[in-house]
Structure 1
Amino acid sequence: MPYKIPESVLVVIHTPDLQVLLIERADAPGFWQSVTGSKEALDEDWLMTARREVAEETGIQTGDLTDWALENRYEIYPRWAHRYAPGVTHNLERVLALCVPEGTRVQLNPREHLRYRWQAWREAADACFSPSNAEAILQLPQRTGLKDPGCSRHCG
């Protein structure tokens, strides 16, 4: 397999009332996260990468993705370093969000994920193993303009 490109997306999938979709990694049981995935080519744009990863990992055919124009640079976890070229130690992650209707069907890719669950945003942030994923989820109320997470106003 070719080495992974150290540029990836993090897509926080949520409902209008800020229930967040978390998926459990097949290669690391107990590690819960949002959709993530690397670019397939250096010139692949962030939205294309996000659409592809959301479809591959959840079966959700994306609607309007929101690019937060937020990037995180982090050290690649040692357990996954072998997937990158020798000497590559850091990854650039672009954060996006996708608001979906309550009851959206999820079809996991069993090679990548074992289970999924919907959780309220605060609990979802607490459940994530990745600090950047947790921080993105904690930004949902501010990013969506939803002041009262219990209200039914649509995401913006």
Structure 2
Amino acid sequence: MTASFKIPLSVLVVVHTPALEVLLIERATAPGFWQSVTGSLDAKDEPFEVAAAREVMEETGLDVTAPGHQLSDWGLQNTYEIYPEWRHRYAPGVWQNTERVFGLCVPAPTTVTLNPREHRNQMWLPRLEAADLCFSFSNAEAILWLSRLADSS
């Protein structure tokens, strides 16, 4: 059997409302680790937008094509060091991941359907509170970008 390693390319999807309320979900295996939707590409040639839509559906049950939902590629990419405790998921020698950032605007806060193997809790928070609660610096920075997006519209 061949080992299957994660691809070091991923998506981060900030789910938010027009009022800049942000959905955070808590990892099942790491209580207190709050984040937006994240996930690796399934194949190196999978388009980031396809991965973003898939991860949103898998982690929240939200359909990015539903009426009133708008998925947008923010044109931001982060490259960061993979935490040592998660490097075993990647091929030997892989220690960096590149993450593409998306936003999913939904009309209003809603209860989402979590995958219990991945997440155990959810909450909607104002943008600044959500950024403060995020474990990941790149996730917090992406949430803070929401104000720039609102100012440009």
What does residue 69 of structure 1 align with? 75
- 1:1-156 matches, within 5 Å, as 2-63=4-65, 64-145=70-151
Cα distance in structure 1, aligned partners of 2:7 and 2:148: 31
SS of equivalent to 1:55: helix
CA contact (8 A) 1:11 1:50 kept: yes
CA contact (8 A) 1:6 1:92 kept: yes
RMSD: 1.2
Give the number of aligned pairs: 147
Deviation, structure 1 residue 143: 1.5
Deviation, structure 1 residue 78: 1.0
Letter in structure 1 aligned against 2:58:
E
Cα distance in structure 2, aligned partners of 1:12 and 1:103: 13
Per-residue CA distance 1:9-68 (angstroms, 9 max, x = gap): 000000110100000011211100000000000000010000000000000011321101
SS of equivalent to 1:95: strand
SS of equivalent to 1:122: helix
Report which stretch shifted further, 96-105 or 77-86.
96-105
Cα distance in structure 1, aligned partners of 2:91 and 2:16: 33
Letter in structure 2 aligned against 1:42:
K
Cα distance in structure 1, aligned partners of 2:121 and 2:114: 7
TM-score, with structure 2 as normaliser: 0.92
Q: Which runs of 5+ in 1 are unaligned?
A: 147-155
Letter in structure 2 aligned against 1:109:
N
Q: Spell out structure 1 runs of 4+ moving beyond 2 A.
A: none
Letter in structure 2 aligned against 1:91:
N
Percentage of matched positions with identical amino acids: 62
Cα distance in structure 2, aligned partners of 1:12 and 1:94: 11
CA contact (8 A) 2:127 2:143 kept: yes
Cα distance in structure 2, aligned partners of 1:143 and 1:75: 27
